[in-house]
Structure 1
C-alpha cells in the first residue's frame, strides 16, 4: 500500500506541475510580468509550501532533525539535484542583472542560516527577523521588476497571445496545480518517511534526504517542465526564490510556531554542503550566460557524492 501511495503522489506532482507552469506563464503574459518574477515569487512560494507544512508539523511533533534538515537538505537538493537535472534537459539561461540582485539575497539568506545553525537553536527572534527579510525581499523584487520597462514591455506577438488567454482559467490552473503539488508531495513524504523509519534511519538523515527530496519534488517537476518548455529563466528563478523562501519563510515560520534546537549533524557537515552548493551555483552562473549541460552534470555528481557520504556515515 505504501508503494501505491508513492506512485499516486508522483502522478499528482506531474499533473500539478504541468498545470502550475501553464497557469504561471499565462498570468505573467497577462499582466506583463516577466517569467523570472513569477519564478522568484509565485512559483517559489507555491513549490515551497510542502517544506513549510512539513517543517512546522515536525517542529510541533518534537522532531527538530526533520524540521531543520528539511530546509538545509531541500536547499542542497534544489541546487545540486534539481538545477543539475534541469540544466541537463536544457541549458539554463542566466540574467546577470537579476543574478547580482537575487544571488546576493541568496548569499545573505545562506549566511543567516549558517548563523542560526552555529548558535545551535532557532529562536522566535530569529524567526521574526527572517519573516521581515522575506517581506522586504519580495517587495523589493516586485518594485524593481515593475520599473524594468525592458522586462515589462512584451513583444506584439506575446501581447496578442496574452489577449487570447483566459485569466480565470490561468488562475484555476495555477491554484489547482499548486493544490495537486502539495497533495502529491504530502503523499510522497509520508510514505517515504514510513519506509525510512522501518529501516531504522535517524530523523535528521530522514529530514536531509527522504523528506528533503520529497518536498523538493515540486521544484523538480516545475523546473523540469519549465526547461522542456524553454522557460529556463523561470526555472532558475524558481530555484533561487525557493532557497531564499526556504530559509526566510520556512525557518522563520517554524521558529515563530515552535523554537527548536539544531541537530549537531547539521552543524558539523550539512550546512557547509549547502554553502558550497550555493557558491558553486554562483560561480557557474557568473562565468557565462548559461548553466550548460556539463555544469549540470557536476551538480548532479555532487549530489550523488553527498548522498553517498550520508549513507557511509549512517
Structure 2
C-alpha cells in the first residue's frame, strides 16, 4: 500500500512540477527576449538533468563508473527514443532550422566527442576539461546567437495559451522555475521508490528493475516536462528540453564526474550502448530535418526503437 501511494504521489508531483516549469519557462523566455527553445535548452533541459547529475556524481565518488556513464548514456537514449517518441504521438513536434543547425549539431558533436574520448577505455581529468570547456563554449554561443537573432514568428503550435495565464512578474517566474524543479525532482524520487518497491514485491530481478524502472527513473523530470509541453502545444520547449538535457548529460555531468574521479568504460558500453546513443541522435536529427517536424509516425518508430533496445539489452547482456 505504501509503495502504491508513493507511486501515485510521485505522478501527481511530476504533473504539477511539469506544469509550473513549462509556464514559467515560456514566461521567462519572453522577459529575457530569447526564444522558448533557448529556455527549454538551458533552464528546463539542464534543470531536469539534476537527478542524472546526482546519480552520476555519487556513482563516480563510489568508484562505480559503469553506473556513472551508463546513467548518462541510458538517459540520452531514453530521452530521444522514449520521451520524444511519446510526445510526437501526442502532438507532432515542430522546430526551427536555425536551432537544429546549432543545438542539434552540438548534441551530435557531443556524442561523437564522448565516443572519441572514451576510445582509450577511460575518461580522465584532461577529458573532463575538454567536455566542460565544450559546455561553456556552447552556452556562450547559444545565448549570444539568441540575443542577436532577428525577431521572427514562432511556429503556430509553440504559443497557444494566452499570456495572462502565465506568470509575468520576475519573482513569480523564478519561484515557478525553482518550485517546478523541486516538485519534479521530489516527484521522480517518490515515483522511483514506489515503482522499485512494487517491482521487488512482484519478484522481478535487479537486472530488470535497473534496465527499466531505474534507467527511466532519472529521466522522469524530462518526461514530465516534455509531455506537458506537448499537451500545451509548446513544441520548442519539448524539443529544447531533450536537446539541452542530452548536451548537459554528456558535456556537463560526465565532465564533472570524470573530473572528480576518472571513469573506466565497461565493455558493454563500448560495444553496444554508445553506438545506440549515436544512432538515436542521427535518426532524430534526420527526422527533424525533413519538414522541421517530428510526426506521429516518426514518434512511433522512435518508440519501436526503444523497445528493440530494451529487448537487445536482455538478449545480449542478460
Q: TM-score, normalised by structure 2?
A: 0.89
Is the 2:27–2:167 Cα contact (8 Å) retained in structure 1? Answer: no
Is the 1:122–1:255 Cα contact (8 Å) retained in structure 2? Answer: yes
Query: Within 5 Å, which residues of 2 pair with 1:182-221?
Result: 182-189=185-192, 199-202=204-207, 209-221=212-224
Deviation of 1:164 after TM superposition, in Å, equals: 7.7
Is the 1:17–1:177 Cα contact (8 Å) retained in structure 2? Answer: yes
Q: 2:244 aligns with which of 232, 237, 241?
A: 241
Is the 2:211–2:310 Cα contact (8 Å) retained in structure 1? Answer: no
Is the 2:161–2:232 Cα contact (8 Å) retained in structure 1? Answer: no
Q: 1:301 aligns with which of 293, 300, 304?
A: 304
- Greater mean alpha carbon deviation, residues 274-283 or residues 114-123: 114-123
Report the secondary structure of 1:149's partner residue. coil
Structure 1: distance between partners of 2:166 and 2:254: 40
Is the 1:73–1:207 Cα contact (8 Å) retained in structure 2? Answer: no
Is the 1:29–1:162 Cα contact (8 Å) retained in structure 2? Answer: no
Is the 1:34–1:152 Cα contact (8 Å) retained in structure 2? Answer: no
Structure 1: distance between partners of 2:166 and 2:231: 24
Ranges in structure 2 where 5+ consecutive residues have no aligned partner: 155-159
Query: Within 5 Å, which residues of 2 pair with 1:1-314?
Result: 1-151=2-152, 165-189=168-192, 199-202=204-207, 209-313=212-316, 314=318
Structure 2: distance between partners of 1:196 and 1:267: 29
How many pairs were matched up? 309
Cα distance 1:158–1:83, how it changes in 2: closer, same or farther (>3 A)?
Answer: closer
- Greater mean alpha carbon deviation, residues 122-131 or residues 181-190: 181-190
Is the 1:70–1:207 Cα contact (8 Å) retained in structure 2? Answer: no
- Greater mean alpha carbon deviation, residues 65-74 or residues 7-16: 7-16
Higher helix proportion: 1
Q: TM-score, normalised by structure 1?
A: 0.90
Structure 2: distance between partners of 1:159 and 1:144: 27
Deviation of 1:228 after TM superposition, in Å, equals: 0.8
Deviation of 1:8 after TM superposition, in Å, equals: 2.8
Q: Deviations over 1:210-256 (max 9, x none)?
A: 33311111111101111111110111111111111100001001111
Structure 2: distance between partners of 1:151 and 1:234: 17
Report the secondary structure of 1:279's partner residue. helix
Report the secondary structure of 2:151's partner residue. helix
Cα distance 1:193–1:57, how it changes in 2: closer, same or farther (>3 A)?
Answer: farther
- Output the aligned Cα RMSD: 2.5
Cα distance 1:252–1:57, how it changes in 2: closer, same or farther (>3 A)?
Answer: same
Is the 1:285–1:291 Cα contact (8 Å) retained in structure 2? Answer: yes
